[in-house]
Amino acid sequence: MTVKKETLLQQFITVRQVTLAICSHIENEDFVVQPSPEVSPPKWHLGHTSWLFEEVILKQYKKDYAYFNPAFCVLFNSYYKAVGEHTIQSERGNLSRPTVAEIMCYRAHIDAQMTALLTEGTVAEEALALIETSIHHEQQHQELLYMDIKYILAGNPLPTQYINTPLKKAAKPIQAWTNFEEGIVEIGDDGEGFSYDNERPRHKHYLHPFSISQSLVTNGEFLAFLEDSGYTQSKLWLSQGWGWVSKGKITHPFYWSLIDGTWYEYTLHGLISLDLNKPLVHISYFEAAAFASWKQLRLPTEQELEVFLVASKSKESEPSLHPTNAQTASGQAWCWTSSQYSPYPKFKAFDGVLNEYNGKFMCNQFVLRGGCIVTPKHHYRHSYRNFYAPEQRWMFSGIRLARDII
């Protein structure tokens, strides 16, 4: 069931404005750098999200569509090999051109063309579906923009902050657990709205009895692990995780730093002293698994976490760009699950150019569930399967613990 043309136009206009609003807090130079291969320069995100509308929709469905600049097809393609070559990801930060101003012109061009398409005459049903997906795609990049901007600002030797509103102090979460019984459950998209191909089809799954924590792991709980030599006890770690810790000399979560004996955490609100009651974020799967092992508990499977999320009521969180409420089920931190990212039974990838959207990444990644504080509100649903490699941690990733009921 596809959304109506008028609704889509409204969603399109909104999503395009939100992207620009996110970028309104940074300097021209911040748009250019790529301090790590996994991070993209913000100006690349601005171009790439526009390119998808051009490549997937305008090129096919807009009569006599003329490219803004044919070179942008290669430049702003991320990884869609079916539509041609693309710039090597790790070299995006070497390119000074097109400038931010030129990319803003490109965005304006795409906005005008898309608006024209959605206001003039009829649009094919399949085009509407592609537009809806492309809007969701831009929302994904809004979250990536927050992640990448945080990485870029944090790496500067001069103190920087994305916004200067103060972060409120967090309350200590209550330790409580929810139990689930054994049996067959239904997993995946319920068909009520938009979903990606990797959430489908809805299917039966046999669940074993388990218990899951009602709160996210806090900075204070993880600090106890760290102070109990958690990072130096090899027995707590996966084999690859131990290699990662040893080779990378990892001794604390990504944005933590110890200055004159006090722990600090870098946030989009600037560097703050570590709040022990705030949810832990920016940890790798390796750290999450080692912590669970230290607790003699485990991470939930993605099915367990989905069942828990569906059963929970999430409270509305304070507007901020850093999680402050460990007691909430979703919308604070993406929770690592013990599930490696695999296709659902009878999985079928998107047709056409978006075929490469999800399926080809189903290897050596772990699923995260629940959404985070910088996930766009209307982008998230409980069947949403986020995924990252086990060593990555620049996303807002955290921990919710589970245990078997025996």
Q: Return residues touching its own copies (CB under 8 A).
A: 27-35, 43, 69, 71, 74-75, 79, 81-82, 87, 91, 93-100, 152-153, 155-158, 160, 184, 203-206, 208, 234-235, 237-242, 285, 289, 338-343, 345-346, 355-356, 360-364, 390, 404, 406
61 vs 117: CA distance, rounded Å: 8
C-alpha distances out from residue 268 to 151, 308, 323, Å: 9, 29, 11
Distances (CA, A) of 262 to 91, 256, 282, 392: 37, 10, 19, 25
Whichever of 4 and 247 has its CB closer to its own copies, that residue is 247
Q: Give least dist CB 75 to its own copies, A.
A: 6
153-160 contacts at long range (C-beta below 8 A, 24 or more positions apart): 153/26, 153/30, 153/268, 154/255, 154/266, 155/35, 159/270, 159/271, 160/270
70/319 with CB nearer its own copies: 70
CB of 43 to its own copies, least distance (A): 8
Name the minimum Å distance from CB 103 to its own copies.
10
Peptide bond into 201 cis (omega under 30): yes
Task: Give the SS3 label for residue 124.
Answer: coil
Look-up: residue for tokens 């296709």?
343
Least Å distance, CB 102 to its own copies, is: 9
Taking the least distance from each CB to its own copies, the nearer of 158 and 259 is 158
- C-beta closer to its own copies: residue 62 or 400: 400
Q: Which positions ≥6 away from 405 have C-beta within 8 Å?
A: 179, 209, 210, 211
CA neighbor of 170 nearest in space, from 41, 293, 324, 366: 324
At its nearest, how many Å lie between its own copies and the CB of residue 30? 4
Q: Provide the 3-class DSSP secondary structure of residue 201.
A: coil
Pick between residue 7 and residue 69 the one whose CB is nearest to its own copies. 69
Q: Residue 163 Cβ, how far from its own copies at the closest point, in Å?
A: 16
Q: Between 142 and 303, whose beta carbon lies closer to its own copies?
A: 303
